[in-house]
Structure 1
Amino acid sequence: MEDTELADAHPPAPVHYAEQALLGALLLEPARLSEVALAPEHFADHAHHALYAAMRTAPVPDPEQHHRSPVWLSRVLEAARPQAPGLTASYLHTLVQRCPWPGHTAAYARMVEADYARRTLREHADRLAQSATDVSLPDPAGTVLAQCDALSRFLETLSGRFAPHPGSLPRTPPPAPGPRTTGDEVWDEERALLACATAQPSGLRRMRWLQPDDFALPRHGKLFQCLISLAHREEPVDAVTVLWEAQHQLNPDFTPADLIELLSTPVGTPEHWGEKVLQRALLAQAHNTALRIRSFTDDPANTPHQLATGSRRALADLTALRIRWQRATQPSTASRSPAVPRAGPRLRAAPAAPPSRVSR
């Protein structure tokens, strides 16, 4: 098999040549297999994967015998062909030619392992992103947090395999945050929370796990900040006092009557709707974290140590939000009365605003 048959249509990545050099060194000197602690799945190329697996199963020949006769090469090729039918004896000779120096076997193995770490980290990020956006999951928050745990465990392993070095943070520019999930259901849940919190302001003291930035619609977050400010100052909280507080913090893109109507129709409990708002924020942060880690893995300039350090930094904000989610959903929380899945009225735009909904 020719080299071009094993490579993809795209130009081979540097790891392709590292894999060839490593396999070539092992074909030249099979005794060096004891110096390599890789598994077959560390190889990105399927044919290389099969060939290395065959090397691990075939008994290592005596060096003098191997130098005189290619019997071991034939055994390895025969063992690898069921998994990679396109392998040929000529490609094994190509691998030998691609090895600059068999004494550098350990260095080639480190390159292969480093690329495997990059690919595996990318797979973890992909699974996290998918979990954060899969609306069919019965427990989206639990699934996302389980993926975060798996990612954290892999990062611990990654840190133990590669030595630190100066310049530990990636220089990859962070991607733009993904758009927050919006729509009538999201807006109605946030409005229901604002109305319930206005009617039951004592619950705000129990909801320190919720922050204005958790809201998908910034204006709703600002209204929630108004409620928090009033409660913190121990001032009366009702629709009128919130309206008065809001005029100092919000643009006049709604009519006072609309805001009064919204805040005067509570359905359910603040805790119920607050958990829904917080879960959406958790999923959004998880998705943005996954996108950031993806960008690290897509940048070949990042070393394994930089990938581990940068990914841990990306997980920090998600970890902080996770702590707040656990506080909100811990079993010791007082029981909450069920909320009726019915939305309150929506704010209508003021006459000077466009006819569509404002600030969505």
Structure 2
Amino acid sequence: MEHARMTPWVDPLLRAEQALLGAVLLSPSQLDRLSWLHPDDFHSPHHTALFAAAQAMAPAKATEAQAEPVTLAWPQAILGEAQRRVRGLSAPYLHDLIASCPYVDHAPVYGRMVLEGSLHRSVLRHATATRQAAREVHRSGLDTALSTALRRVDALAEHLDAVGRRWGAPPRARGHAPALDDAVHSPLNLPVEHERDLLAALERGRASGLEAISWLEPGDFAAYGDLFTCARALAHRGEPVDTLTLTWEVRRRDLLSPENRRRLDAVSRGPAAGSLDWLGERVLASGLLRAIDLAADRVQNMAGDIRYSPARLVHHGRLALETISSPRNRREQARTGMPPAVGRTREEQIREAAQPGLARARSRPAATSAAAKPSSHPSARSKEGHAR
């Protein structure tokens, strides 16, 4: 059915699912062009059941559909099979699906829309699970929460790779990313006593031990990063680190804000308990957990932003996770005493793995048809201006 009426304010993703199912009900042969689409890609459970039923019935109906006109037996068979999978389906709803399909031949384009929504939801689920794991720190403790969160990060990275392979995303997406608010929604607040105690230990004559925590960076601190920068600068110049010299260095660098004044007072009154190694590892572990929370928050924002095509979502999601690499490698160095091995980055590995496919793609002859039909590949550009 062409030029069917469709309510304009209905969610386009829901309309795409309905239009796709309508195309399948009208033309079973469209399933051959949708082999890359899975029932779980549909957001509605009813639509999942209907597409699974259509796929299950397709082998018996494909030859017949090509040779004979479609009869009521095809939608009735799908309805019967779908009703075995989910409740609430009726014949009138199938009529609504058929009426919602503007053009049967555009089924692959509708399928790409369905797949795009599915990929966004799947990335959002993984990013949400990663952030929730980081926020278990207040209940399970720093070490347990960090270990779980790192496993979630690895799972999210693997899922982004899988999304890229399924969509056919290139190693690097073209164009600029849409602007996002960098502010973290409800940032992860962790105690900073270890930061204070580390500065107190440095201030009280143990600055010579900075070499033992050379893997620690000011960015690992949540509150005392400015003071650590100044203490490290004093030690690097061979100057003593105490209350006065540290305050002077903070002032020289124009960092003597009211907040840093209070932090200097807290350092001068705070205990210097614990070794520098142990305190530094605590600071680094907290910084790594905050970095995970921030990266997961950014991936969440991108996955929930419809301006991101799957290709851009994969690329910029990888970049967000790359920010975790430095503190993660330095934590491994702190635990083992060995500097991290310098190897290929994830981006380089992805690019190398994609080179054979890109070479084959470049060697394909260009299409000569002036009005090509929508491609059945999910990442292909459509005539309607589908962009990555």
Q: What TM-score, normalized by structure 2, do the two folds share?
A: 0.73
C-alpha distance in structure 2 between counterparts of 1:240 and 1:53, whole Å: 73
The within-5 A match list for 1:1-360 is 12-36=10-34, 37-58=36-57, 59-61=59-61, 62-63=64-65, 67=69, 69-135=71-137, 136-137=139-140, 139-160=144-165, 161-164=167-170, 167-178=174-185, 181-182=188-189, 186-198=191-203, 199-217=205-223, 220-239=224-243, 241-249=245-253, 250-251=255-256, 254=261, 258=265, 261-262=268-269, 265-330=271-336
Structure 1 pair 278–178 and aligned structure 2 pair: CA distance change class (3 A): farther
Structure 1 pair 228–71 and aligned structure 2 pair: CA distance change class (3 A): same
Greater Cα offset, 45-54 or 62-71: 62-71
Which whole-Å deviations, capped at 9, do the CAs of 1:229-273 have from their partners, x for residues lacking one? 12212333455544554453442855999578437x421111111
Which whole-Å deviations, capped at 9, do the CAs of 1:137-177 have from their partners, x for residues lacking one? 35122222211111111222222223459743321323313
Maintained 8 Å contact 1:168/1:305: no
- Cα displacement (A) at 1:289: 1.6
C-alpha distance in structure 1 between counterparts of 2:188 and 2:85, whole Å: 44
C-alpha distance in structure 2 between counterparts of 1:118 and 1:92, whole Å: 27
C-alpha distance in structure 1 between counterparts of 2:70 and 2:250, whole Å: 88
- Report the RMSD for the aligned CA atoms in angstroms: 3.0
3-state SS, counterpart of residue 324 of structure 2: helix
For structure 1, which runs of at least 5 residues remain unmatched after alignment? Answer: 1-6, 334-360
Structure 1 pair 77–157 and aligned structure 2 pair: CA distance change class (3 A): same
- Cα displacement (A) at 1:280: 1.7
3-state SS, counterpart of residue 200 of structure 1: helix
Q: Which amino acid aligns with 2:48?
A: H
Q: Which amino acid aligns with 1:20?
A: Q
Which whole-Å deviations, capped at 9, do the CAs of 1:277-335 have from their partners, x for residues lacking one? 122222222222222222222221221112112212222322222222222223769xx
- Cα displacement (A) at 1:197: 3.2
3-state SS, counterpart of residue 228 of structure 1: helix
Greater Cα offset, 186-195 or 237-246: 237-246
For structure 2, which runs of at least 5 residues remain unmatched after alignment? Answer: 1-6, 340-388
Maintained 8 Å contact 1:66/1:72: no
3-state SS, counterpart of residue 112 of structure 1: helix
Structure 1 pair 82–197 and aligned structure 2 pair: CA distance change class (3 A): farther
Maintained 8 Å contact 1:177/1:288: yes
Q: Which amino acid aligns with 2:239?
A: E
Q: Which amino acid aligns with 2:46?
A: A
Question: Hey, what does 1:345 align to over in structure 2?
Answer: none
C-alpha distance in structure 2 between counterparts of 1:195 and 1:13, whole Å: 57
Structure 1 pair 248–98 and aligned structure 2 pair: CA distance change class (3 A): same
Structure 1 pair 328–301 and aligned structure 2 pair: CA distance change class (3 A): same
Maintained 8 Å contact 2:18/2:100: yes
What is the number of equivalent residue pairs in this alignment? 320
Which whole-Å deviations, capped at 9, do the CAs of 1:188-215 have from their partners, x for residues lacking one? 2222111233443233112122122322
Question: Hey, what does 1:341 align to over in structure 2?
Answer: none
Q: What TM-score, normalized by structure 1, do the two folds share?
A: 0.78
Q: Which amino acid aligns with 1:145?
A: L
C-alpha distance in structure 2 between counterparts of 1:313 and 1:235, whole Å: 39
Which whole-Å deviations, capped at 9, do the CAs of 1:2-33 have from their partners, x for residues lacking one? xxxxx9xxx63211111112111111222332
